[in-house]
Structure 1
Amino acid sequence: MPVLRQHSPHQHAAHETLTARLRAAGCVFAEDEARLLMDAARTPEDLEAMAGRRVAGLPLEHILGWAEFFGLRIAVAAGVFVPRRRTEFLVRQAAALLDAWRQEAGGARRPAPVVVDLCCGSGAVGAALAVRCGPVELHGADVDPAAVRCARRNIVPLGGAAHEGDLYDPLPPELRGSVRVLAVNAPYVPSAQIGTMPQEARVHEPRACLDGGPDGLDLQRRIAAGAPQWLAPGGHMLIETSRRQAAETAAILRCHGLTARVLRSEKLGATVVAGRLVSPD
C-alpha cells in the first residue's frame, strides 16, 4: 500500500467507522482500504458511493482507477484484469534476464532489447519492465479492447505500444525473430474452478482473462507453439503458472523447442516457468 496522508480527529473517526463497515463486508485490509477511499473521494457523497461499491464487492482498484504494482500506479478500469502482486515475481525474473543480456555485451553498445507483454491486460508487466530495465522496445498485446485502452495509458508514456488482437496476430511482423523477452501472464485457471474464485475476480473481471480451458493450459500451448518464431536466438519466454501446473507448463515449452526451468517465490506464492530459445551453433 502507498504512503497515506494523516487525517484530522474528525476524519479519524470517519475512518474508523468506514473501516468497521469494510471489515464487516469481508475486506481483509479494511483499514488501508478505508484510507485510500477517503483520500480519493472529493466529497462525502463520493465517499459514500465508493464505499457502497466496495461493500457490494467491486474490486478496490476498479473504484480507485488504479492498482499498485511494482511500486507503480497502473491505470485500470471496470472490467479489466487487476494485476496481482505475485506477478511482480515474473517482472523480477524477466528483469534479471535483461540485466544478464546487457552484461554479456561488456562495454559494447547494443540496441534496446525487444520486450513483449503478451496477454498484457493493463500492461502492468510491460510498464514495470520499461521502468526497471529501460530503455527497451516495448510492445503489449491483448484480445480485449478495454484492456488495450488501459495498456495504452500505462505503456505509451513509457515509449511502448499496445496492440489489440489474438496473441501474436496484432504484433508488428518485423518483430519476428527479434524478441529478447516474451513475458506472459495468460489465463491458467481450469474452467471448472472459475466458480471457486473470489467474487472480485469471477464477477468483476472478464472470464476470458481467467479461464484457461479444461486443464488451464490451453493458452499456454498456443503461446508456446508460436514463441520460437518470435524469440531472438537466446531469447526467453517467461510465463506465470501455478505450482500444480508447473511441470506440465515446462513440458509444453520443451515440446516446442525451448529449454524450461521452474522458478518459485514462496513469499509471493508465485510460480513462473522460464524458457529459452537455444542459439544455433
Structure 2
Amino acid sequence: MTNSDDRRSSSKSGGSDRPVTGIVVGADGSETSAAAVSFAADMARSRDMSLHIVHALDFAPYGFGGPYMDAGGVYEWVEEGGKTILADAAKLARSIAPDVEVTTDLSIGSGAQWLVDLSETARYIVLGASDSGAAATALLLGNTAVNVTSHAHCPVVVVRGDERESGPVVVGVDGSDLSDAAVAAAFAEASFRGATLLVVHVWSDLGPGLLEDPRASELVPDDLEQEETAVLAQALAGYQEQYPDVTVERRFYVDNPRARLEELSGEAQLIVVGSRGRGGFRGMLLGSTSNTLVGKSECPVMVVRPARD
C-alpha cells in the first residue's frame, strides 16, 4: 500500500510534471472556493495564463493517519471525493475560460505547505476566504490563507467579499522597502484593469488612545506631516513614469491602518498590501494588517511579499 505522502495524482485534462508557471487556485468544494476558481479562471483568461487547480486533504490536525487509515479503502474513498471536487472545479473553470489550459492535482498532506511550494514557480496563488462551515477535509479550513500569504513566493489573492469591475485598486504604503513590492504590484494591476490607483498612506506616531480622538490629525506636528508626505512621494517615484496610463489618487490618514483599509475595501475592486512593514506602531503593512484584511475585507485582497535575494 502506498504511503499517504506519496498519494498525488495529476490530470490535464491534462496533467504534467513540468513546473507550474501560471495561476494556481485551491479548491475544496465549498462556495468560497468556487468563487476563487471563478476568479482565477477569469484572471487566467484575461492574462493568457494557464490554470492549475489543486485539492489537498490534511488529516493530521484531526488525529487521523497511520497504517490503519489504509484499511477498508479509506484513502481510496477520500481520493475519489477529491477527484470529484477537482472535476467540478475544472468544469466551472472551463465554462468561464474555455480557451485556458486547465490542469488539476490532488495531494494528501498539508494544503498550505503544498501551495507555498507551488508558489516557487507560479505567477499567482488564488484562494477562497476561510469558510467555517466547510467540511473538516477542506483545503482552506482554518488559517491556510494566512499561512500561505505569510510564506508564499508569489502574490496571493484571497477572494472574498464582492467582485467589482468598477472602483479603484487600493494599495497601502508605509515607506518600507517591503511595501515597494505592493506598490509595484498595485500599479500593474491598475494598469491591467484600467482602474484608478488609490494610494493610501495611513500613519501616526500617536498612541493608540489618541487615535480615537477626532482631533488626531491636528495633533501631528507639521514637520512630521511633511516627512510622511515625502514618504509617499518616494514610494511612488518611478512608477508613474512606468505606468503613464494609470490615474493615481493619493490619500493621507492619521488613523489605524487596518480599520482604514477595511473601510476602503467597501469601494475597491482590489486591495493590495505587503506581508509586513517597517515595524513598531508606525508600521502599516505588518502581518496583522494583511491578516485582518484577509479575514474582513469586502473585496478580494492581494498580498505581496518582497522578492527573494
Q: Shared topology, TM-score over 0.5? A: no
Band of TM-score, shorter chain: under 0.3
TM-score normalised per structure 2:
0.21
TM-score normalised per structure 1:
0.22
Q: Which has the higher contact order (CA 8 A, sep 6+)?
A: 2
